[in-house]
Amino acid sequence: MLFRRPLPVGMCLSLQLAALPALAQEKIMPGDTARPLVLEETPAEKAQAAKEEVNLKPTANHTWFDDLEGHLVVEAGVNGNPWTHTGRNWAQSYVDRANTATLNQITGTLSHPTTDIGGGYGIGFVFEVLYGSDARFNPTIGMGDGSLTGIYQWAPTQAHIDAHLPWLSKGGIDLQIGQQYGIQGFEGTDALERPFYSYNYSSDYIVPFETVGVLATWHMTDTVAWVMGVNAGNSTTFGGAKNNTRPKGYFGVQLSGLADGKLDVAAIAYVGPQQSVYAIGNEANHQMEYIGDFLATYKLNDTSSITLNGTYYHDDYYQDDVYGVTTYFSHDFSPSLTFNARGEIFRDNNGSVVGNNTSPMSYVNELRGRPYSYDSAPGTTYGELTVGVTYRPQFLKLPRGSFSIRPEVRLDKALNGTRPFNRVSPTDDPTVNYADNGTNNMFWFSCDAIWSY
């Protein structure tokens, strides 16, 4: 999210030729047969599943409605930062409350995989709702925003029709029409879509959280998929819930199964004006924003993988450039224990992007183009290192679902001499504080617990 600027995003339809399976916010894509449970499925389990024969032909009395699926994810967490003087973790959205236990999300999903309806065509859908503290930063303006105004809010996060069209190539085109997660970055909002409780800077501050539009993937070959689209923008819709009247959209490419199936690569750009006409008038229709995202994951062996995520952002209105590179390493010690490490360098040139929203409704009001309270900092080069594990206790014999816990230790540091962490100073505006008299690093630790069914 962007600071010192209200940044809602109005709506246009998104024709996006890509359902990118490796991308951050991606949930259930056209053609998927089940919801991905990232924390539960180990490489050994994937190998076993690949050996099992799958019959895609329904039985004689099987109907389309028999394939309806329901899922529930509950995430709660706590973090410790005894050195903060603000009660907050600097430069964090979802994990902003220091030394506090939080119910982050209860996410319910009703879906149907894209299923053949004859002639090579297929249809499915996904509907999802989130309740918890995470909903503060995952609203879509015009879709229930502001109905709850405390730290615990609700937000519809997915509501799209999925379709498969047997056009142009053997792989055809997959479509999503409606509300969807953004497709850039590596770390998703859903607890099962990221390796850590906390987020990297790029996922918190650059990539779009939600879009409303049409998303499509043209599978040109078994390896190459082309991405293109038009949408309303980041977390906004139509009419009075728009940010401006201009379209925004994605384009890019995905390469999968390279290097003998070990390497997946995606390069996606997101372009369009994102300023709000309610904040700066008609000029919002012409001030462009550009986001480029590169993601590559390489499977070292059956138990280890590395990921590289590079993100670049430019804003014409504020003349700000923001960019970062994050690397990830993951290793399965056993089906019950996975080690994860993350390292990041992230630069905010003039300080207009990285900061903290300081009230439960700050981000919603920012998107609406209204005044909002926030803390900001000078231009800073941030470094971040996080290590943690995902533990799935095998001794727990739950009647339903699976359980995971993810402890982590994290160090953030300002690499260019600024001191934005753990303390802020008031300004002439009572709703704005400035962070440059604190410390140049922030050492903190966190743990979340996830039950999924």
pLDDT at 25 over 70: no
pLDDT at 292 over 90: yes
Closest among 68, 148, 156, 39 to 107, alpha carbons compared: 156
Q: Which of the following CATH numbers is that of domain 43-53+67-452: 2.40.30.10, 3.40.30.10, 2.40.160.10, 3.30.70.360?
A: 2.40.160.10
pLDDT at 4 over 50: no
Supply the pTM of this predicted model.
Answer: 0.86
Closest among 195, 186, 202 to 324, alpha carbons compared: 202
Contact 7, 318 (CB under 8 A): no
Alpha helices in 128-272 (DSSP H): 201-205, 258-261
Q: Write down the mean pLDDT value for the chain.
A: 88
pLDDT at 66: 87
Closest among 68, 48, 82, 133 to 422, alpha carbons compared: 82
| Consecutive H or E run containing 153 | strand 153-165
**What integer is the mean pLDDT of 425-447?**
94
Closest among 73, 171, 175 to 124, alpha carbons compared: 175
Condensed to tens digits (0 to 9), the pLDDT of residues 108-141 reads 999 999 999 999 999 999 999 999 999 999 999 9
Domain chopping of the chain, boundaries: 43-53+67-452
